[in-house]
């Protein structure tokens, strides 16, 4: 196999690896850089080329004001390092993108056979002369055999005690220090505003107002006909509950905690002074109606037609291939589809950040959270976003389609992004 074929094969090995599995944008970038390096080895690829030819950016793309390409190449560089320190540690060919460039390089790893050959070829001192083997009596042989067995038993016992000691030390230090693996770079980029602050962020989950009683039937509170009635506001959806768990897992990876409060107990003072994570649409998480919220994807009740009264998401500035509005499955049918908004924006105090996960149903909210808690999908989202000079994701709004099976979000798809 020629050297060129070996390099091409190594690119495909990387694309099919567990490290890059699911990172479609990075695999596309890797193939592009590999093809360019092999076809035009003496020509340096430009940032503008990558933006327009790989990520489909418009001809007016400005690398000076949009750092998206630098971020993506940095992520690819980190993935390659992760691969070669793990599953690719024995690969014969090393692929890398040196810092400060966008040019892929290939290196042959020195094999063990090469090292052995170089050692055998180097001058060595002559071996000492051998002496005739001495005759050992049967009694002496049995003595040394027994001694070897005894020493082996002592050695094994010592190793077992040492292993037990080290294990207990490791478990103790883990419990005391909360040691865990460093979160993937994708998570660090999105959640940086929420983990850099010394204060723990507030997670505000929706708890809609209901009338009636659980044993006789409940429905959403309607101010036009339920004035003066008893309101129940301590119920929330199963999607919000599971979303809280997902987010708690993410923040545990950063060695951080989150503070949780239901929306009806939240105040505007809390909004001003904290980083905030909202779960649920403005129809149920009423705090979102009192603070600056989304502008591109807005929640509205359908005003007429067969879906009158249902909650929809309006696409304020739809593009050619995007829907003008979206709705979940009709309420009289089995829920198989929902839509949700993910939005990152500055807080009322610009030193703080707000992120919103809001579905038209509880399952859409859960799906939106899961979308940013899994490496494969968060990678797709980040490929559409730019990073500011502080290494943080710029504010954005995203519309996500959520497929639901038996009351469980099973698949999420990015429909539109605004930044």
pLDDT for res 126: 44
Decide the pairing of beta strands 353-359 and 276-279: parallel
pLDDT for res 154: 55
Q: Where are the domains of the chain?
A: 3-108, 185-418
pLDDT for res 405: 92
CA pair distance 403, 335, nearest whole angstrom: 9
pLDDT for res 68: 77
pLDDT in tens, 104-150: 888 888 654 444 444 344 444 444 444 443 344 444 555 555 555 55
pLDDT for res 193: 86
pLDDT for res 326: 96
Which portions of the chain are predicted below pLDDT 50?
112-139, 162, 164-180
- The CA dihedral of 233, 234, 240, 244, to the nearest 10 degrees, is 130
pLDDT for res 142: 54
Using a 10 angstrom Cβ sphere, with 0-12 exposed, 13-18 middle and 19 or more buried, the burial of residue 28 is: middle
pLDDT for res 153: 56
CA pair distance 335, 274, nearest whole angstrom: 35
Write down the pTM of the prediction.
0.62
Cα distances (Å, whole numbers) of residue 168 to 55, 154, 160, 247, 309: 49, 21, 12, 30, 60
Decide the pairing of beta strands 259-262 and 202-205: parallel
Total residue length of the chain: 419
């Amino acid at each position: 196999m020629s050297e060129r074929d070996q390099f091409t094969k190594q690119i495909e090995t990387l694309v099919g690896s567990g490290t890059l599995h699911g990172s479609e944008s990075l695999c596309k970038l890797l193939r592009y850089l590999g093809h360019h390096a092999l076809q035009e080895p003496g020509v340096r690829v430009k940032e503008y080329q990558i933006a327009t030819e790989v990520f489909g950016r418009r001809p007016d793309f400005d690398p000076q004001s949009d750092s998206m390409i630098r971020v993506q190449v940095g992520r690819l560089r980190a993935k390659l390092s992760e691969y070669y320190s793990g599953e690719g540690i024995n690969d014969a060919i090393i692929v890398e993108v040196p810092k400060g460039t966008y040019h892929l390089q290939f290196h042959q790893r020195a094999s063990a056979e090469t090292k052995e050959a170089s050692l055998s070829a180097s001058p060595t001192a002559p071996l000492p002369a051998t002496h005739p083997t001495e005759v050992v009596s049967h009694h002496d042989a049995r003595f040394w055999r027994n001694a070897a067995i005894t020493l082996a038993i002592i050695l094994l016992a010592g190793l077992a005690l040492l292993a037990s000691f080290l294990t207990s030390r490791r478990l103790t230090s883990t419990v005391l220090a909360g040691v865990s693996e460093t979160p993937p770079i994708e998570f660090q980029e999105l959640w940086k505003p929420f983990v850099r602050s010394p204060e723990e962020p507030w997670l505000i989950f929706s708890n809609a107002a209901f009338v009636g009683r659980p044993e006789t039937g409940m429905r959403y509170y309607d101010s036009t006909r339920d004035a003066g009635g008893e309101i129940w506001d301590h119920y929330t959806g199963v999607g919000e509950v599971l979303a809280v768990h997902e987010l708690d897992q993410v923040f545990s990876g950063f060695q951080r905690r989150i503070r949780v409060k239901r929306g009806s107990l939240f105040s505007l003072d809390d909004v001003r002074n904290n980083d905030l994570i909202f779960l649920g649409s403005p129809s149920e998480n009423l705090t979102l109606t009192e603070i600056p919220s989304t502008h591109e994807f807005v929640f509205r009740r359908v005003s007429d037609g067969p879906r009158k009264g249902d909650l929809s998401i309006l696409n304020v500035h739809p593009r050619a291939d995007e829907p003008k509005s979206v709705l979940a499955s009709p309420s009289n049918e089995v829920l198989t589809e929902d839509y949700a908004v993910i939005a990152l924006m500055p807080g009322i105090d610009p030193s703080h950040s707000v992120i919103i996960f809001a579905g038209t149903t509880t399952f859409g909210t859960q799906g939106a959270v899961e979308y940013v808690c899994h490496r494969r999908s968060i990678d797709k989202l980040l490929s559409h976003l730019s990073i500011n000079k502080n290494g943080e994701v710029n504010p954005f709004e995203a519309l996500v389609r959520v497929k639901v099976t038996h009351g469980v979000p099973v698949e999420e798809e990015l429909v539109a992004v605004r930044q």
